[in-house]
């Protein structure tokens, strides 16, 4: 379409945000106009589910993840004097809107960005404008979605994600059970853009034929690029399969009515510039929107569209942004012409396995059919082919054109006998299956990365806390308690997984360790031996076993019932530590200096009806508190990282100071490893651990060099130990935990970094938290390489530190030496505290009102006014 346009170089480039999928056609479209392009990624990691941008097509690349990076990106792009900023694919729409608005370029603006991405907001905006669309409800709770569908009293309904595409997880449901199953499937997944589905959408079913309407706009002047009719099939599970997209003549019904309706949708959603891809159902009452994206049609192919339509959406989009006057003159307010009949066929398959090879002869046989213009082979050797469930799992896309539609339909029929000859498929090799008790993001990531099928048992407490993100590939079973064997077995039965063979049970949850061993014994698979697990849970048994091996260890007295300590009549210690026999994180851990204090604590626990009753009294050991993290395989210590807390954990609690830690450098601080490694090896051997990760704590006397065993867990350490080990040594403890569980030798390819790497807690102030800096903002600070904000907004935070689990968040920081590391910790903590927004606790309403006015809404007057 642009062959008649002279090439005239433009001073600045076009900026494409997330140029995935058909967004890959935009760089050559701008190049045909003599315009270079730069790329902006809206995510830290590439989106793996879509065709990636070609990096060589772009002059430069930027990353703009989160609000904190927006200002920096605006400044960098402004220096390029760009001609335009536009989205290459759906996830890039909000960022493209923000950048173009800030830079004063042609823009759809940010006011309605959410409505152009979120399907719930989209329909709500249309309904407010009086435009016909589906009734709807959204929620994060399957039960509420079912209730809405039941109250509506009209099935079927549609359940789908709020912001996905390509029919991803879209279900047609005919009763409450199907709604619940679909909702759980959506909520247990990520969308095709690798974003977690935290809510699901249920909508009234729109009865009728579905159509595509594609447009390109400049200043609200729209050109209709094409109108296509969907021909679909419904799978038994309620998912739609789009079989054929058939190009319609612009004069045939109902095309004019569809075009007029989409014009009202574009206006309501503020799509004044650039491409749009609308899906509309012609109901008995008239057109109603399914959804619209401010981006190119995912089925668009420039050469094919040029042939059957005389133009294509990519070239039209480039012209609209680069030469808006030319676009207005030639296209605005006009409609395409159909040069010949055309259709796009997305094939279905029941094949399941690995693609061994692509039979080019079979591809050629399809290509030789008279109406076939192009065969797009979507999978290569080694890729997994699965039964088709949506557009993403369709293995072939075939573009077809002919003088008459009948010829296309004849070839479409012939393709059905040829399509499954294209891929030579071998049976997929055995995929290991693991039962996970509790969430560990690095273990889950390793499952996905290494093709391990995982079933996650997730307690409601962890689920409701809302911090963990579970990959879509993992099956989730929610239970009352993930440490309760009865709850787990009942959940497996309810899910139809009772007879499923598992290769291993793995947990990173301290309280589920013995459960993992017992379940594995019942299921006949690998896990830690239950007897070994007991020695890693019961601190008295653990210390006894280690002491018997000749390792210096604190003396210990078991208190069978802390509610009654009357049997303890003699005090054997100078100072002691009272704690649960099987606790963690220094919860309810207290330094005790005599029988009187022990009695006080006993009375308090009895009055509080503390359910934990068995405690231990341990000899208090002074000195530095060290940590040892690593893993064993087949009884051999394969990796060890030794480090220390800034101050012992109990000292940080007593002094109300934020905890911090770092690992020693194996080269410059080799003495620490020489001192610790023999003790670590002997302790692990005494406790019987042969496979798995561990986190050990030791007390070090700097004057004598003596190390005293404190305790050891058969799991990874808490805090940011995983991230700290990854950053300093390049070793993934989550992957090692999974491999050890499955009986595979873990990788221990160590890559040392010379910097010191440490973790510091971020504390808060007492009161209800209204806001705090984001992880992305924290990462902008000197030396901060990773940040996690854990405490939810809206909850009441207590500034008093009562355990090593007490914090607002954590940061991972690098520095050249100890002095710089501590200085950076202090600077980050101070910076974070200054930006916390916390309502002061235990104050009068007058003071709260004053705080609200001064801090949150200085622009508003909430005083009680006189009637005027």
Tell me: cis bond preceding 156? Omega within 30 of 0 counts: yes
CA-based torsion, 405, 411, 416, 419: positive or negative: negative
Label residue 488 by pLDDT band (50, 70, 90): very high
Mean pLDDT value of segment 100-112: 95
**pLDDT at res. 165:** 60
Please state, as a whole number, how many other Cβ atoms lie within 10 Å of the Cβ of residue 501: 8
Please state, as a whole number, how many other Cβ atoms lie within 10 Å of the Cβ of residue 854: 9
Mean pLDDT value of segment 497-523: 93
Q: What is each CA distance from 692 to 84, 585, 746, in whole angstroms?
A: 53, 20, 9
* Listed range (83-92, 162-171, 677-686) with the worst mean pLDDT: 162-171
Mean pLDDT value of segment 298-325: 95
**pLDDT at res. 691:** 94
- Give yes or no for residue 238 having a pLDDT over 80: no
Q: Which residue has the higher pLDDT, 1 or 101?
A: 101
Give the range with max mean pLDDT: 238-242, 498-502, 570-574, 695-699. Answer: 695-699
- Give yes or no for residue 368 having a pLDDT over 70: yes
Label residue 292 by pLDDT band (50, 70, 90): very high
772-797 per-residue burial string, b: 16 or more CB within 10 A, e: under 16? bbebebbbbbebbebbbbebeeeeeb
Q: Please give the distance of CA 843 from its chain centroid, rounded to a whole number.
A: 39
Nearest partner of 294 among 117, 470, 119, 443, judged by Cα: 117
Q: Which residue has the higher pLDDT, 849 or 401?
A: 401
DSSP 192: T
Rounded Cα gap, residues 316 and 214, in angstroms: 11
In percent, how much of the chain has pLDDT > 90? 69
**DSSP SS3 for 705:** coil
- Give yes or no for residue 402 having a pLDDT over 50: yes
Give Rg (Cα) of the chain.
31
- Give yes or no for residue 53 having a pLDDT over 60: yes
Are the C-beta atoms of 644 and 717 separated by less than 8 Å? no
The pLDDT tens digits of the residues spanning 369-401 come to: 999 999 999 999 988 898 887 778 889 999 999
Label residue 90 by pLDDT band (50, 70, 90): confident
**pLDDT at res. 428:** 67
**pLDDT at res. 193:** 62
Tokens of 160: 């789908």
Mean pLDDT value of segment 322-349: 96
Nearest partner of 266 among 104, 116, 84, judged by Cα: 116
Label residue 9 by pLDDT band (50, 70, 90): very low
Give DSSP secondary structure letters for 35-69: --EEEEESSSS--TTSPPP-GGG-S-EEE--SGGG
Q: What is each CA distance from 652 to 235, 343, 618, 646, 755, in whole angstroms?
A: 59, 69, 19, 9, 25
- Give yes or no for residue 176 having a pLDDT over 50: yes
- Give yes or no for residue 237 having a pLDDT over 60: no
**pLDDT at res. 753:** 87
- Give yes or no for residue 10 having a pLDDT over 60: no
End-to-end Cα spacing for the chain:
65
- Give yes or no for residue 5 having a pLDDT over 60: no
The pLDDT tens digits of the residues spanning 724-739 come to: 999 999 999 999 999 9
Mean pLDDT value of segment 735-756: 90
CA-based torsion, 197, 203, 206, 211: positive or negative: negative
**pLDDT at res. 794:** 87
Rounded Cα gap, residues 359 and 422, in angstroms: 5
Mean pLDDT value of segment 518-533: 92
**pLDDT at res. 8:** 42
Tokens of 205: 């079913």
pTM of the model: 0.57
**DSSP SS3 for 730:** coil
**DSSP SS3 for 185:** helix
**pLDDT at res. 4:** 37
**pLDDT at res. 424:** 94
Mean pLDDT value of segment 707-717: 95
């Amino acid at each position: 379409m642009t062959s008649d346009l002279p090439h005239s170089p433009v001073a600045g480039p076009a900026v494409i945000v997330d140029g995935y999928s058909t967004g890959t056609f935009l760089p050559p479209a701008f190049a045909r106009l003599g315009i270079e392009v730069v790329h902006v990624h809206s995510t830290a990691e590439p989106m793996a589910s879509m065709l990636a941008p070609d990096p060589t097509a772009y002059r430069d690349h930027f990353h703009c993840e989160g609000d904190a990076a927006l200002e920096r990106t605006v400044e960098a792009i402004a220096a390029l004097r760009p001609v335009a900023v536009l989205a290459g694919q759906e996830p890039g729409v909000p960022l493209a809107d923000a950048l173009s608005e800030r830079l004063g370029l042609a823009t759809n603006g940010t006011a309605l960005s959410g409505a152009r991405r979120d399907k719930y907001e989209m329909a709500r905006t249309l309904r407010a404008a009086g435009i016909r669309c589906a009734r709807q409800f959204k929620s994060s709770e399957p039960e509420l979605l079912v209730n809405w569908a039941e109250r509506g009293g009209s099935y079927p309904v549609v359940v789908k994600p709020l912001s996905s595409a390509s029919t991803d997880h879209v279900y047609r449901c005919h009763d409450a059970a199907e709604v619940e199953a679909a909702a759980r499937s959506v909520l247990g997944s990520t969308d095709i853009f690798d974003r977690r589905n935290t809510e699901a959408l249920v909508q009234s079913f729109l009865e009728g034929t579905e159509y595509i309407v594609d447009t390109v706009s400049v200043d609200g002047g729209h050109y209709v690029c094409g109108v296509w009719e969907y021909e679909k099939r419904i799978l038994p599970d309620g998912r739609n399969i789009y079989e054929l997209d058939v190009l319609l003549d612009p004069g045939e019904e109902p095309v004019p009515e569809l075009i007029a309706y989409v014009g009202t949708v574009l206006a309501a959603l503020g799509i004044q510039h650039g491409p749009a891809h609308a899906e509309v159902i012609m109901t008995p009452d008239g057109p109603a929107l399914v959804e619209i994206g401010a981006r190119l049609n995912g089925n668009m192919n420039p050469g094919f569209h040029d042939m059957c339509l005389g133009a294509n959406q990519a070239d039209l989009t480039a012209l609209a942004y680069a030469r808006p006057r030319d676009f207005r003159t030639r296209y605005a307010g006009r409609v395409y012409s159909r040069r010949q009949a055309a259709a796009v066929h997305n094939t279905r398959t029941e094949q399941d396995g690995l693609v061994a090879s692509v039979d080019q002869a079979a591809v050629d046989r399809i290509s030789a059919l008279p109406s076939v213009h192009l065969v797009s082979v979507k999978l290569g050797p080694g890729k997994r082919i699965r039964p088709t469930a949506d557009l993403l799992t369709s293995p072939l896309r075939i573009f077809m054109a002919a003088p008459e539609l009948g010829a296309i339909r004849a070839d479409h029929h012939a393709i059905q006998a040829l399509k499954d000859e294209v891929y030579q498929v071998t049976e997929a090799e055995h995929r290991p299956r693991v039962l996970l008790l509790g969430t560990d993001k690095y273990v889950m990531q390793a499952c996905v990365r290494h093709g391990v099928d995982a079933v996650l048992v997730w307690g409601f407490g962890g689920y409701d806390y809302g911090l963990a993100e579970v990959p879509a590939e993992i099956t989730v079973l929610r239970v009352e308690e993930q440490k309760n064997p009865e709850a787990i077995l009942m959940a497996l039965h309810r899910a139809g997984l009772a007879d499923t063979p598992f290769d291993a049970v793995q947990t990173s949850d301290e309280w589920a360790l013995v459960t993992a061993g017992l379940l594995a014994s019942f299921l006949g698979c690998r896990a830690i031996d239950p007897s070994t697990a007991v020695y890693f849970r019961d601190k008295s048994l653990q210390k006894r076993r280690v002491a018997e091996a000749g390792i210096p260890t604190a003396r210990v007295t078991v208190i069978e019932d802390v509610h009654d300590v009357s049997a303890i009549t003699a005090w054997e210690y100078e100072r002691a530590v009272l704690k649960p026999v099987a606790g963690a994180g220094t919860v309810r851990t207290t330094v005790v200096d005599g029988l009187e204090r022990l009695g006080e604590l006993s009375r308090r626990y009895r009055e509080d009806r503390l359910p934990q009753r068995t405690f231990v009294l341990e000899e208090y050991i002074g000195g530095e508190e060290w940590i040892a993290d690593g893993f064993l395989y087949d009884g051999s210590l394969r990796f060890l990282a030794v480090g220390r807390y800034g101050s012992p954990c109990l000292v940080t609690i007593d002094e109300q100071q934020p905890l911090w830690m770092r690992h020693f450098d194996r080269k410059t601080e080799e003495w620490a490893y020489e001192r610790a490694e023999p003790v670590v090896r002997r302790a692990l051997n005494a406790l019987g651990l042969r496979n798995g990760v561990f986190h050990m704590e030791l007390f070090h006397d700097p004057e004598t060099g003596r190390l005293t065993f404190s305790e050891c867990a058969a799991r990874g350490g808490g805090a940011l130990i995983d991230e700290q080990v990854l950053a300093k040594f390049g070793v993934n403890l989550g992957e090692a935990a999974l491999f050890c569980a499955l009986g595979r030798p873990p990788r221990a390819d160590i890559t040392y970094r010379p910097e010191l790497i440490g973790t510091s807690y971020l504390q808060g102030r007492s009161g209800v938290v209204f806001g705090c800096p984001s992880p992305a903002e924290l990462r902008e600070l000197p030396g901060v390489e990773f940040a996690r904000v854990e405490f939810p907004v809206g909850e009441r935070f207590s500034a008093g530190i009562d355990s090593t689990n007490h914090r607002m968040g954590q940061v991972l920081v690098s520095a050249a030496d100890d002095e710089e590391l501590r200085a950076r910790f202090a600077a980050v903590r101070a910076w974070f505290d200054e930006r916390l927004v916390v309502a002061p606790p235990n104050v009068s309403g007058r003071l709260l009102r004053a705080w609200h006015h001064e801090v949150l809404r200085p622009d508003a007057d909430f005083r009680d006014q006189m009637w005027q």
